[in-house]
Chain A
């Protein structure tokens, strides 16, 4: 059984239909890259998976359970699906450690000591053992993004959604973040990432999903898809990047 299943997802912003019937299943341990031009709907699709975008039609199943629009369902969903954003979105009034500790403590009602332990463990994991007491504005973009990853991981999600996590970074900071994501992939974390890092997608991902005009246009093994795109749209997308 798939960890996450999307059936016939439709989503419009006003008159603009951005998702035109998406079917996608995500298996445990799978690393999926969503690629496509801007406006193809890939970020919107990602955001529907944890309910940040409400869907107009379709079914989302997580762990075999159908997710409805009810608030309690959404909260339960988000305990299983973590997310990392393009703009990091760290809480500026808390230190790195507090950023990571907050949700385990407040949402999962863990004790302060317990939450701190988990937070430290996660910050060590992303290589920021020496930055725990720093505030976000004292950290580089790459460090902030790694705190954001640690913050999501501290909730022990089953799936981690990554929305262009390196797009806001200076080029020299991209690799430190990708290294963390790669490590997560190797440890068996289920990942769904919207990315423009094609080389990374090719090396790390199990499955490539190419979106075009609100539909999944082509999907398959990254090596194969890159080497041998079946549709002219993907061919030109890949060609345009090379």
Chain B
């Protein structure tokens, strides 16, 4: 059996960390798009749609991410869709992310006052125009800090994809541990890498919070 140097461990973890970053980005972007669509239809106010979106959000906020991934990974084959761990993880995390983002953004949209809706309506704007020119630009400013903050949750959430066999940072850590029998070193390195990804995001979110506080425009 060959010896593993610390560099071997770190190098292999770094390779796997690329997948963590890619999975996070994909889930965040796709989740953002789905979340925005849900936000739009929910704000438009059809009572059945509002009920559906509320149920959707509560379902994903009220169950562990791990269960969501299991259900996607083991559930899709039952309806004839055989999916790879990558697809299952992306799909599951996208649903999870969209539910949280749509709820975060809903609060931001609701913080834009009724007067803004009424003024834009009285100028003849339709719903899409009101959202695009009046409400979303204002809501966005409020939404940026909590959205960036939530991205940290997504990065950490990708760790559960290891359970369904997707080789990202955590799964790579497990595999390297099995080869090296040095769990403390390996998982220590894994933790440091997560921290190096997440800490800048947290700092950025805090920076934005200060920047956007009390700024109307």
Residue B118 CB within 8 A of the other chain: yes
Which one of B116, B123, B137, B217 has the greatest number of beta carbons of chain A within 10 Å?
B123
Contact size range, B: 20 to 34
In the complex, which residues of chain B have a beta carbon less than 8 angstroms from the beta carbon of A152?
Answer: 122-123
List of B residues within 8 angstroms of A148 by Cβ: 119
For residue A155, CB closer than 8 A to chain B, the reply is: yes
Q: Which residues of A contact B141 (CB under 8 A)?
A: 93
Which A residues lie within 8 Å of B124 (CB)?
75, 78-79, 103, 107-108, 155
A50 near B: Cβ within 8 Å? yes
State A151–B141 Cα separation when bound (angstroms): 24
- Which A residues are in CB contact (< 8 Å) with B138? 91-93
Quick check: B115 and A107 within 8 Å, CB to CB? no
Closest-CB distance, A143 to chain B (whole angstroms):
16
A93 to B122, CA, bound (A): 18
Whether A92 pairs with B119 at a CB distance below 8 angstroms is no
Residues of chain A with a CB closer than 8 A to B113's CB: 89
From the candidates B119, B137, B217, name the one contacting A89 in the complex (CB within 8 A): B119
Q: Give B155 Cβ to nearest chain A Cβ, in Å.
A: 31
Give, as a whole number of angstroms, the nearest-CB distance from B162 to chain A: 43
CB closest residue in chain B, given A108: B124
Q: Which of B115, B118, B133, B216 contacts A102, CB < 8 Å?
A: B133
User: Which of B122, B123, B125, B217 is within 8 Å of A135, CB to CB?
Assistant: B217
Q: Is B134 an interface residue (CB 8 A)?
A: yes
Bound state CA distance, A82 and B119, in angstroms? 10
Say whether, besides A85-B115, A92-B138, A137-B216, A50 and B122 are in contact (CB < 8 Å).
yes
